[in-house]
Amino acid sequence: MADYVIAPPSVAALPVRGGGLFPVRRIFCVGRNYAEHAREMGSDPDREPPFYFTKPADAVVTGGADMPYPASTKDLHHEMELIVAIGVGGVDIAEADALNHVWGYCSGLDMTRRDLQNEAKKTGRPWDMGKGFDHSAPMGELVPAGNFDPSKGKIELLVNGKVRQTSDLSKLIWSVPEVIANLSRLVRLAPGDLIMTGTPEGVAAVQKGDLLEGSIEGLPGVRVRIV
């Protein structure tokens, strides 16, 4: 047994529909992967290759638990996303083989301190504190890959019962197999890695007390209240 000088951290995990836990190793996020969202953020979706940022594994919020409104922001935004859970690692994965590396899928939210992110963009600094803060990744239950088709299906977010975001997975600029293949050329993917695949248009601010309910056709939903 290793002789740690402090107690090792607990393992972040996602609940699996039907029972069990999926341990979370790393969280990779694809930026601006829906054309209309790219345009609302001031970018050209037709010429931009995929790019990535990360969140810490322990940013995950599960089981419908509340999300504390984070410190140092006055502009907390929601971003509803499909999440891919990697079950078989690899490097330089072929696009045609990419889905064989997926363990499952779930619904999730990339919560963003937009004011901090925008300031970082202006000054050419990293986005970490705008994206990778505590409790910034609420997620629903994970569903095994064989039970879900990631190429199409309605994706939607309600805030206090009103539609804020609605689109279809078929509108992803870079499909799930393309993202896995591309990302695996930059890092060696490993079991336990999650990939947040990007958000459609309609991102906006939320306040304390707001109830967020996200859904993706064919997957369990994600639900979180901002407190």
Say which CATH number the domain at 155 has.
3.90.850.10
Give pTM, 2 decimals: 0.95
Does residue 1 fall inside a structural domain?
Answer: no
pLDDT at 35: 74
pLDDT at 36: 73
Q: Identify the domain containing residue 217 by its residue range.
A: 14-225
d(CA 145, CA 193): 14
pLDDT at 39: 67
Does residue 2 fall inside a structural domain?
Answer: no
Does residue 31 fall inside a structural domain?
Answer: yes
Does residue 3 fall inside a structural domain?
Answer: no
pLDDT at 57: 98
The total domain count for the chain is 1
Does residue 214 fall inside a structural domain?
Answer: yes
Does residue 102 fall inside a structural domain?
Answer: yes
pLDDT at 125: 96
Does residue 7 fall inside a structural domain?
Answer: no
pLDDT at 79: 97
Query: How high is the mean pLDDT in each 10-residue block of the chain (227 residues)?
Result: 90 97 98 76 71 97 98 98 98 98 98 97 95 98 96 98 97 95 98 97 97 98 98
